[in-house]
């Protein structure tokens, strides 16, 4: 035998580098050379860790999904009531701070890549539906008196609102800053009380 490597750690570091490059230079700037430079290695090492560029992309996409999922879990667990849990999950999914706005830019990059790549498109759709399901359960817990159709409609609406806030915060963080995002979400959640 000879020297052994920590494959999982390499994958994590390379995915993080992918993410970083994607946030900084956008989708056109995402090259294997740029990722390697950011990770402090060479393209040879990158392609020994991942079979090809798409495998790297897919892994980075899954990393992003796990990251957002864990943050959502934490926000959900820290809340006192179902309604507050819903509010917390939605708010952290939007992009209030610069750190999350970076994530949002990465998200947009993957979204654009998914338009031309069926594999990434499947992942994106899958993750989105999982988020809708999570929100639906939170809505159901917060407002159990709602019927199933109303619950589903409310959930897709809330997810769409969060998605839009993310997207808009990417290009116009001045108009769509933390304050604007909070009041948008608060208004949507307030409507949950008065609507029926």
Partner DNA sequence: GCGTTACCGTAACGTACGCTACGGTATGAG
Partner DNA sequence: CTCATACCGTAGCGTACGTTACGGTAACGC
Binding site for DNA (CB under 7 A): 1-5, 10, 30-34, 41-45, 47-49, 52-54
Whether the CB-CB separation of 11 and 59 falls below 8 Å is answered with yes
Q: Under a CB-based contact definition with an 8 Å cutoff, are residues 155 and 136 in contact?
A: yes
Burial bucket for residue 125 (CB in 10 Å: 0-12, 13-18, 19+): exposed
Q: Which does 49 bind (CB under 5 to 8 A by kind): its own copies, DNA, none?
A: DNA
Stretch touching its own copies by CB under 8 A, among 1-9, 34-42, 54-62, 167-175: 167-175
Query: Shortest Cβ distance from residue 38 to its own copies (Å)?
Result: 15
Q: Tell me whether residue 34 or residue 158 sits nearer to DNA (CB atom).
A: 34
96 part of the interface to its own copies, by CB under 8 A: no
Q: Closer to DNA by CB, 45 or 132: give it.
A: 45
Which range binds its own copies by CB under 8 A, 1-9, 32-40, 77-85, 126-134? 126-134
The reply to whether 157 sits near its own copies by the rule CB under 8 A is yes
Is there binding between residue 136 and its own copies (CB under 8 A)?
no
CA gap 137, 183 in Å, rounded: 23
Q: In angstroms, what is the minimal distance from the CB of 44 to DNA?
A: 3
Check if the beta carbon of residue 135 is closer than 8 Å to that of residue 86.
Answer: yes
Long-range Cβ pairs for the range 71-74 (8 Å, 24+): 72/131, 72/134
CB 54 within 8 A of CB 117: yes
**168 interacts with, out of its own copies, DNA, none, CB within 5 to 8 A per kind:** its own copies
Phi, psi angles (nearest 5°) of residue 78 = -80, -5
């Amino acid at each position: 035998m000879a020297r052994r490597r920590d494959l999982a750690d390499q994958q994590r570091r390379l995915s993080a580098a992918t993410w970083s490059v994607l946030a900084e230079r956008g989708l056109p700037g995402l090259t294997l050379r740029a990722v390697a430079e950011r990770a402090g290695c060479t393209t040879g090492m990158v392609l020994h860790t991942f079979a090809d560029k798409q495998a790297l992309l897919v892994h980075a996409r899954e990393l992003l999904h796990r990251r957002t999922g864990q943050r959502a879990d934490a926000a959900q667990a820290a809340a006192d009531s179902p309604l507050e849990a819903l509010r917390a999950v939605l708010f952290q999914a939007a992009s209030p701070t610069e750190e999350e706005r970076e994530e949002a830019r990465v998200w947009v990059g993957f979204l654009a890549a998914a338009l031309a790549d069926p594999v990434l498109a499947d992942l994106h759709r899958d993750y989105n539906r999982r988020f809708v399901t999570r929100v639906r359960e939170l809505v159901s817990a917060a407002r159990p008196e709602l019927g199933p159709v109303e619950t589903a409609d409310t959930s897709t609406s809330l997810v769409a609102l969060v998605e839009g806030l993310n997207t808009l915060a990417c290009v116009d963080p001045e108009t769509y800053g933390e304050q604007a995002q909070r009041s948008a979400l608060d208004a949507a959640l307030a409507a949950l009380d008065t609507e029926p």
